[in-house]
Amino acid sequence: EKNGYDHFMLKEIEEQPRAYRDTLRGRIDEDSQSITLPDMMMNPEHIREIKHIQIVACGTAYHAACVGKSIIERMTRIPVEIDVASEYRYRQPIIQEHTLVIAVSQSGETADTLAAIREAKLSGARVLAITNVVGSSVAREADHLLMTWAGPEIAVASTKAYTSQLIAFYLLALYIGQSIGSMDLAARAQLLTQIKELPDQVQNMLGHMTQIEQIAEHIAGYHDLYFIGRGLDYTIAMEASLKLKEISYIHSEAYPAGELKHGSLALIEDGTPVIALATQEVVLEKTISNIREVKARGAYVIGVAFEGNMELAQAADEVIYVPRTDALLAPAIAIIPLQLLAYYAALARGNDVDKPRNLAKSVTVE
């Protein structure tokens, strides 16, 4: 079932263009340049009522939620809160009238996420599930369903399920945006064009990733490393850091780039690898000054940026370039080399990539 691949994880990374196409299929109406989500069964009146959104999820699905928050707020101006599902019900969340709760779960069986759904429903919230498994507990308990079509994910480290969740969030944000009229038609059409290009862009990129193996061998010799970025780049950093920890067992942390100097900069030593995400060009100058701060303390900086970003090439020691897209779509492209980086770093350390120690694919205890 590995289709000639050594590991499910690599197979699943390479399946991402297909997963994007399947998750998009039938959901973009070309004539009206709009999104149709009939299976979600949430009509425009329901959508127009939404005043607040809360998203609950665990692990990688939580990192998709971080992206979801950012894009829903940008496209719709509806305030969005995000919670790690295991924290949600113990913080006595304020669930007002017209709150939509979105639960994100690849397996649909995560106990903490289910508990959060039950808490939300008790308070009368409408619950929408984003899940990859038809008929799963999360799918059954939610009021509305937005499926991701990543196909079965076997490796413990989530890859194609995460990026499919991002695609689901782009569709949802655009759908809410068109229902409440928060986005002009030209902006929507422009974003749709770029979303439709993502599968081919990812496919082309996957054929040109030889540089990643050599970077992975370099970082495999370190005990600690840092991922930094601002805005959506910080959300990518969080997911990249989790992926690396989970399978390579190298300690890493993700920081908003501007936050390092408030304490953690003290950890940077000669040679410490720092992976600097710099796809968000509105904050590029700021990110570059943060790169200079770590370099001045001896860090070895690996940048991640859109093709053509020459400023980063000057500031960093080396750069991983990814195909250019809209800044809002960056997570769906820039995470991919970092999934591969985790994969090759785990291989370089001789780890069991698909079944990392101490972890289970589906976490059914709270």
Extract the runs of DSSP E, i.e. beta strands, from 163-232.
224-229
Residue type, 332: A
Among 16, 113, 179, 287, binds ligand M6R (CB under 6 A): 113
Q: What is the CA radius of gyration of the chain?
A: 20
Q: Among residues 73, 101, 28, which one has the least CA distance to residue 177?
A: 73
Give the nearer residue to ligand M6R in terms of CB position, either 157 or 353.
Answer: 157
Judged by CB under 6 A, which stretch of 107-115, 225-233, 276-284, 337-345 contacts ligand M6R?
107-115
Written as six digits, the tokens of 267 are 């950890």
Query: Hey, which residues between 242 and 281 contact ligand M6R (CB under 6 A)?
Result: 242, 246
Judged by CB under 6 A, which stretch of 72-80, 99-107, 258-266, 280-288 contacts ligand M6R?
99-107
Determine the Cα–Cα distance for residues 128 and 38; give it in Å rounded to an integer: 13
Among 16, 54, 70, 106, binds ligand M6R (CB under 6 A): 106
Least distance in angstroms from the C-beta of 238 to ligand M6R? 11
Least distance in angstroms from the C-beta of 96 to ligand M6R? 26
Least distance in angstroms from the C-beta of 267 to ligand M6R? 24
Site for ligand M6R (CB under 6 A): how many residues? Answer: 16
- Report CA dihedral (204, 205, 211, 215) to the nearest 10 degrees: -150
Site string for ligand M6R, 165-204 (x = CB under 6 A): ----------------------------------------
Judged by CB under 6 A, which stretch of 65-73, 105-113, 227-235, 258-266 contacts ligand M6R?
105-113
Give the residue carrying structure tokens 């508990």. Answer: 115
Cβ(242)–Cβ(63) under 8 Å? yes
Q: Among residues 366, 265, 260, 282, which one has the least CA distance to residue 330?
A: 282
Q: Among residues 66, 60, 72, 63, which one has the least CA distance to residue 107?
A: 60
Judged by CB under 6 A, which stretch of 21-29, 31-39, 59-67, 345-353 contacts ligand M6R?
59-67
Least distance in angstroms from the C-beta of 242 to ligand M6R? 6
Among 16, 54, 70, 158, binds ligand M6R (CB under 6 A): 158
How is the beta sheet containing 318-322 ordered, strand by strand? 251-256, 224-229, 273-277, 300-306, 318-322
Determine the Cα–Cα distance for residues 179 and 136; give it in Å rounded to an integer: 29
Using a 10 angstrom Cβ sphere, with 0-12 exposed, 13-18 middle and 19 or more buried, the burial of residue 122 is exposed
For residues 325-360, one letter each, b for 16 or more C-beta atoms within 10 angstroms of the residue's C-beta and e for the rest, the string is bbbbbbbbbbbbbbbbbbbbbbbbbebebbbbeeee
Catalytic residue, candidates 245, 286, 355, 361? 361
361 flagged as catalytic: yes
Written as six digits, the tokens of 218 are 């370099």
Number of other residues whose CB lies within 10 A of the CB of residue 281: 16
Give the nearer residue to ligand M6R in terms of CB position, either 61 or 192.
Answer: 61
Among 34, 60, 248, 287, binds ligand M6R (CB under 6 A): 60
Judged by CB under 6 A, which stretch of 56-64, 189-197, 254-262, 330-338 contacts ligand M6R?
56-64
Site string for ligand M6R, 347-366 (x = CB under 6 A): ---------------xx---
Least distance in angstroms from the C-beta of 87 to ligand M6R? 14
Among 19, 24, 58, 277, binds ligand M6R (CB under 6 A): 58
Which residues carry out catalysis? 361
Q: Which residues bind ligand M6R (CB under 6 A)?
A: 58-61, 105-107, 110, 113, 156-158, 242, 246, 362-363
